Structure 1
Amino acid sequence: MSSDRVDEDGATTRNNGSESSNIAQKKLPRVKLLTFNTWGLKVVSKHRKARLRAIADKLAGDKVGTPIDDLSDIPGNGGGAEETAPEDYDIVALQEVWVKEDWEYFSLRCKDKYPYMRIFYSGILTGPGLAVLSKIPIESTFLYRFPINGRPSAFFRGDWYVGKSIAVTLLKPVDPDTYPIALMNSHMHAPYALTGDAAYECHRSCQAWDFSKLARLYQQAQYAVVIVGDLNSRPGSLPHKFLTQETGLVDSWLQLKGPQDIVHISKMGAADQLRIGCTTCDSQLNTWRAQRQPDEAKRLDYALIDPRRMHTLSAGVRFTERLEGIGSFSDHFAYSCTLELQQRQPQQHDDTTQPRQTLLDRYASYEEMARCIEKYMPTAKKQKLYRGLHFVLSVLCIIACLVVTTFTANRAAWSSIFWVLFATVVATTGLIDGLISFLFGRSEIRALREVAEEVHDAQHSMQQQLAGE
């Protein structure tokens, strides 16, 4: 929003050759945005408290961390024109802020600089870990929890228990002549393998499908939609396609840099991967991921924007400095971009006309989604079946234990204790699996069928549209 800050960010002001023309042409407002996965898991994350406090201090304006020599030429990372005010943002979107005391520290340290802030609470054991700090007044907020989001049996992963969601923050217009911003912050289900059931590709694709529909609604309501966060999806993946093709949003990094060859970037050195590919995750320059191979570095943190209502002026990785005795601020690097808000067009209606190739690409994504659900559905049904069978067998086993105890107690009284403990374990595990099968298993299958039907409807509509051209 501040012209001084934008100049430090490297953005250039248009010069029409005369002072009168500069006055006549109103300068469009600019907003600087940061998204950051803070890695704030209790107990699991190393040096969590110290790291998150350092993040809060840096956002509050303190000079924290030692720059990496290889990145000293990148603005905001220890060098460049931004050094005078390295962390001066208008909007900060955070993920993985799960511990209450960490958020309380953020609130205390950043309240003067970011008077408008919000953390989202809805979840089973804890909230989704999503929070926003803003200099722009917040008009309203809304949390949408994904209906398809992992399994409760994968308790060691925790995605289901935190309640992965979309945190929607509607901000008041920066200027009467620009669109209000709808910030949609999310941390989608993580992949725990490249392929197979543990990759959770179907879950993440379903989340992106819902995400795109919600984003489209806010676009139709004349908001400048910005999707930010750790989307756990590589560029070009099915979730990424849904979030761009279905909404018309563009990747702010690609808007600035143009199309990129991911394979070529994977062969670069770590510093060049950050400069050219903005690889926010699994970079060898991150101390928590230093043992990863160069081709594992990837870009998972995004700001997807509406190109009709905003334009990217500058962008790049942030928070690459290292904390003495600790290491990197998080297992991710942050991503920042400066956006120029476009002038609002009175009574503007969305143009639904798209090039034929775009329609064909969308239809191909629908087919890919249908195959993805079809491939995963047997796994969901097996999970439900096996856990239901476990419940039935547990009931039979408990009955057998009662019968056996009656006979063995007469010969060895101590054996009754063994059978009671055994029956207790069987009853507990059987009941848990029975509830998962009857409640969650049924719910997951029906939710998958719902998405499959929605995709089928979209396919049918697209076929008619392509045939009518």
Structure 2
Amino acid sequence: MSTTTLTNEKTTPSSPTVKLLTFNTWGLKYISRHRTERMQAIANKLANPTSPDDDYDIVALQEIWCEDDWECIQQACKDRYPYRRAFKSGIVSGPGLAVLSKIPIAETFLYRFPINGRPSAFFRGDWFVGKGVAVTLFKSHDGKALPIALLNSHMHAPYATNGDASYSTHRACQAWDFTKLVKMLKQARYAVIQVGDLNSKPGSLPYKLFTIEGGLSDSWNLVHEQRYEDNLIELSPHDQVLHAGITCNSRLNSYRQKSEPWQACRLDYALIDSNNITPIKASVKFTERLPAPLDCSYSDHFAYSTEFTINSKDEFAPASYEDQQITLDAKESIYRELLAEVSEYRQFTIPFQATWRKVHFFLSLIITIALHVGVYFVSSVAGWIPVIFLLVTVVVILSGTINGLIWYCGVRPESRALQEVQMEVEDAYTCLKRQ
């Protein structure tokens, strides 16, 4: 498939443009297929672009979870991208976020999400890698333009379309935290760009928080005026990518060939402060396949690229009063939706998780005592019976201790963090009603 770029012909750049790429590289160790070969191919393609359209000024990467992969990318790209940064956190591997840049980096920091899955979901790993927002503050790319603040993230994944496994509440709370960072950086007179695999479809609650509460605009929608989100199933896989910006679950992707047409979606974004950033191009990238014998896609996602101009420092434009008034009703609606989401989770999921883990912990204590007493009575029957009792006791102690720790050190902090978000939204809602 070609990497055709659709452009907005109405916009003629009058100042140096910045070209950005965001890409989820699917770098799960032992799980991602052809990981090493794909990472080498990604590094080579970034380091040796075959056309000016594939030569980026800033590259934001997600799922760089292996040190060897990051070292491979660094080594290949060190000449083209002299400014590089990978972010660290979590118990295993880290958040998988990295940035490559031709523009000098002035400052970086990582904001770790306080609400990010549960430690009991070790088979999913979101909690253990310490997902968050990797913030990179750049110097002005031409000395006159506003400096860029890039917020790169890979938000909690949905493991189901609904229910507890969907983790919709977690992503909504992460989006709320995201918007606070966005608003602070906008007030600090940065040209704010939010990128990454946000695991949120257009129109979802997190997406509405980004665009309404955070005041950001979808660069794809600004360039491509026609919308296809409501009739994706009617488009061919090629047109889904070309006209609707699909980056995930495309049947053109070798790792997603069995996906249903309705599963195709757009999860990878560059959301921008459109008062100070003007996008002129937007396209889906890395859609071609690697040559034989691999004959596979670069990742299970396609990449997303946008090219834009940035206002000069003298032309910094805060949100207008008219824009703020237009969003008042919309803000009230999303506050109510977020409060309902958090309240339901706190009312049903948290009590369920806390109760059964707490009961298991104390029940394990009782069973352990009973087994110790029982050893006295069965030891004279047969010599092997106490050994069985000992093994059962070890299993009971270990499982009870683990569940007790998850209850006390996992569920309880999660409940408090959710309560904090709820109070923050209530404060914002009360302030809005007073206007």
TM-score category (smaller protein): over 0.9
Match of 1:403 in 2: 373
Aligned-residue offset at 1:382: 1.3
Letter aligned with residue 88 of structure 2: Y
Give the match for residue 357 of structure 2: 387
- Map 1:227-246 to 2 at 5 A: 227-246=194-213
Once residues 464 and 216 of structure 1 are traced to their aligned partners in structure 2, the CA distance between those partners, rounded to angstroms, is: 20
- Asked if the contact 2:7–2:223 (Cα under 8 Å) also holds between the matched residues in 1, the reply is no
Are the counterparts in 2 of residues 381 and 441 from structure 1 also a CA contact under 8 Å?
no
What corresponds to 2:422 in structure 1? Answer: 452
Match of 2:48 in 1: 61
Deviation string, structure 1 residues 120-160 (Cα, Å, up to 9, x no partner) = 01111121000000000000100000000000101111100
Q: Is the 8 A contact 1:39 1:330 kept in 2?
A: yes
Q: Is 1:331–2:318 an aligned residue pair? A: no
The match for 1:424 is: 394
Displacement of 1:263: 2.0
Sort the Cα spacing of 1:153 and 1:264 in 2 relative to 1 into closer, same or farther, 3 A: same
Q: Deviations for 1:293-349, whole angstroms, at most 9, x for unmatched residues?
A: 111100000000011111110011000111123310000000000011122236865
Instruction: Name the counterpart of 2:140.
Output: 173
Per-residue CA distance 1:34-74 (angstroms, 9 max, x = gap): 000000000010111111111001001166xxxxxxxxxxx
- Relative to structure 1, is the Cα distance of residues 312 and 59 closer, same or farther in structure 2, using a 3 angstrom cutoff? same
1:116 aligns with 2:74: no
User: Structure 2 matches for 1:65-464, cutoff 5 A?
Assistant: 84-258=51-225, 260-323=227-290, 324-326=292-294, 327-345=296-314, 350-351=319-320, 353-354=322-323, 356-377=325-346, 378-464=348-434
1:154-178 residue CA offsets vs partner (Å, 9 max, x unmatched): 1111100111110000000012321
The equivalent residue for 1:40 is 27
User: 1:287 aligns to what SS in structure 2?
Assistant: coil
Structure 2 unmatched runs, 5+ = none
Contact 2:245 2:284 in 1 (8 A): yes
Q: Which amino acid aligns with 2:416?
A: R
How far residue 458 of structure 1 moved from its aligned partner, in angstroms, is: 1.1
Instruction: Work out whether residues 95 and 130 of structure 1, in 8 Å CA contact, stay in contact via their aligned partners in 2.
Output: yes
Q: Secondary structure at the match of 2:350?
A: helix
- Output one character per residue of 1:1-37: Cα deviation in whole Å (capped at 9) or x when no partner: xxxxxxx99687988xxxxxxxxxx931210000000
Contact 1:381 1:445 in 2 (8 A): no
CA distance in 1, matches of 2:298, 2:144: 38
1:434 maps to amino acid = G
Q: 2:419 & 2:322 partners in 1: Cα distance?
A: 29
Name the SS of the counterpart of 2:88 in structure 1.
coil
CA RMSD of aligned residues (A): 1.8
Moved more, 265-274 or 289-298: 265-274
Aligned to 1:28: 15
Please state whether the residue corresponding to 1:314 is helix, strand or coil.
Answer: strand
Name the SS of the counterpart of 2:99 in structure 1: strand
CA distance change for structure 1 residues 129 and 14 in 2, over 3 Å: closer, same or farther? closer
TM-score, length-scaled by structure 1? 0.88
Task: State percent identity of aligned pairs.
Answer: 49
For 2:236 and 2:316, the matched residues in 1 are separated by 49
Report the CA distance shift for 1:289/1:365 in structure 2 as closer, same or farther (over 3 A): same
Q: How many residues are paired up?
A: 428
Please state how far the C-alpha of 1:356 moved relative to its aligned partner: 4.2
Shift of the 464–312 alpha-carbon distance from structure 1 to 2, 3 Å rule, reads same
SS in 1 for 2:281: strand
- Tell me how far apart the structure 2 counterparts of residues 406 and 138 of structure 1 sit (CA, whole Å): 69
CA-CA distance at 1:265 after TM superposition: 2.1
Q: Match of 1:75?
A: none
Aligned match of 1:66: none
Q: Secondary structure at the match of 2:23?
A: strand
| Structure 1 residue 440 displacement after superposition | 1.1
What's the CA shift string for 1:85-125, capped at 9, x where partnerless?
A: 35200000000000010000011000000000000011111
TM-score, length basis structure 2: 0.95
Aligned 8 A contact 2:216 2:274 in 1: yes
CA 353–213 in structure 1, closer or farther in 2 if over 3 Å, else same: farther
Opposite residue 330 of structure 2, the aligned amino acid is D
CA separation of 1:207/1:259 partners in 2, compared to 1, >3 Å: closer, same or farther?
farther
Deviation at residue 352 of structure 1 after TM alignment: 5.0
**Paired amino acid for 1:334:** A
